[in-house]
Amino acid sequence: MRRKIAAGNWKMNLSFSEARDLCSEINNVKIPNGVEVIMAVPSPYLYVLNAIARNKSVSIAAQNLHSKDSGAFTGETSHNMLSSIGINYVLVGHSERRQYNKESNAELKAKVDIALANGLSVIFCCGEPLSIRKKKTQDAYVAKQLKESLFHLSAEQLASVIVAYEPIWAIGTGVTASPIQAQQMHKSIRGLVSKNYTSKVAAQLPILYGGSVKPANAQDLFSRADVDGGLVGGASLDAASFTAIIKSF
Ligand code: PEP
């Protein structure tokens, strides 16, 4: 059976006291059996929130890391800073970082490599902009993102990766990909993994959907054959909404 995952991405939101309260509330949720909860929180809060999240089904993730070990990179966060405070997960390739920080597939490949080489698991985000969806070339677009940043990995390394398909036109817009659109892309991604690795590797890879997931649509999305959970932005900032999403499996 594949892992079921509800991941939240808080982005650059919440004061420390709001973050602490939200983390405590989610930590106290009775998480359904077999479901893992991951919250990607702002970097100044990682250490303290990781101490609060004692529920064994809840993990705290970083939203980014640098592609080098250390050095003169003001404002950046290294893999060692994360792992030395007990963080096990990091987001790589979120569309906002691709857009605002001009992170290329090649740079994301380097981030994936340094994270995995140092024991961090990666939540790798991919997804097409609206212009690509309109041209109906989204499968090829996402395939290129995966090929250029992930498919050089060994099967063993890929086992420490979670893929999050996040169509950019659905992120923070209130527009959700329909469960049929999500399933189609997830199936296409799993097919690519099967082709580049094996069907067994593909069958084990968790693929999350992200893009305006909310309590009202989570169950329908998560019930699709190749949708193993969600990466949730806005709705993860509200304890009641995120709890409802966690309980949607
Ligand atoms: C995200 O930021 O990864 C995301 C999916 O955001 P939202 O749920 O707000 O669309």
Instruction: Tell me what pLDDT residue 175 has.
Output: 85
What's the residue count for the chain? Answer: 249
Of all protein residues, whose CA lies closest to atom 1 belonging to ligand 1?
233
pLDDT in tens, 174-193: 888 999 999 999 999 999 99
**Does residue 95 have a pLDDT over 90?**
yes
% of the chain exceeding 70 in pLDDT: 100
Domain boundaries defined on the chain:
4-246
Instruction: Tell me what pLDDT residue 135 has.
Output: 96
CA-nearest of 54, 151, 150 to 111 is 150
- C-alpha 22/C-alpha 15 separation (Å) is 11
User: Which residues share a beta bridge with 210?
Assistant: 231
- C-alpha 207/C-alpha 225 separation (Å) is 11
Of all protein residues, whose CA lies closest to atom 3 belonging to ligand 1?
233
Pocket test for ligand 1, best of 126, 128, 175, 213 (most atoms within 8 A of CB): 213
Residues with catalytic roles: 94, 166
Q: What separation in angstroms does the CA of 165 have from each of 28, 100, 168? A: 28, 19, 9
Q: Regarding beta strands 35-40 and 58-62, do their DSSP bridges make them parallel or antiparallel, or are they unpaired?
A: parallel
Ligand 1 pocket check for 158: Cβ under 6 Å:
no
175 in the Ramachandran plot: left (φ > 0), alpha (ψ -120 to 50) or beta?
A: beta
Q: Per-residue pLDDT averaged across 45-55, rounded? A: 97
Q: What is the mean pLDDT of the chain?
A: 97
Instruction: Tell me what pLDDT residue 106 has.
Output: 98
Ligand 1 pocket check for 175: Cβ under 6 Å:
no
Instruction: Tell me what pLDDT residue 176 has.
Output: 87
Ligand 1 pocket check for 210: Cβ under 6 Å:
yes
Q: Is residue 181 classed exposed, middle or buried when 0-12, 13-18 and 19+ CB atoms within 10 A define those classes?
A: middle
Q: Is the pTM of this model over 0.95?
A: yes
CATH number of 4-246: 3.20.20.70
**Does residue 170 have a pLDDT over 90?**
yes
Ligand 1 pocket check for 234: Cβ under 6 Å:
yes
Instruction: Tell me what pLDDT residue 172 has.
Output: 85
- C-alpha 63/C-alpha 128 separation (Å) is 20
Cα torsion through 245, 194, 99, 49, rounded to 10: 40
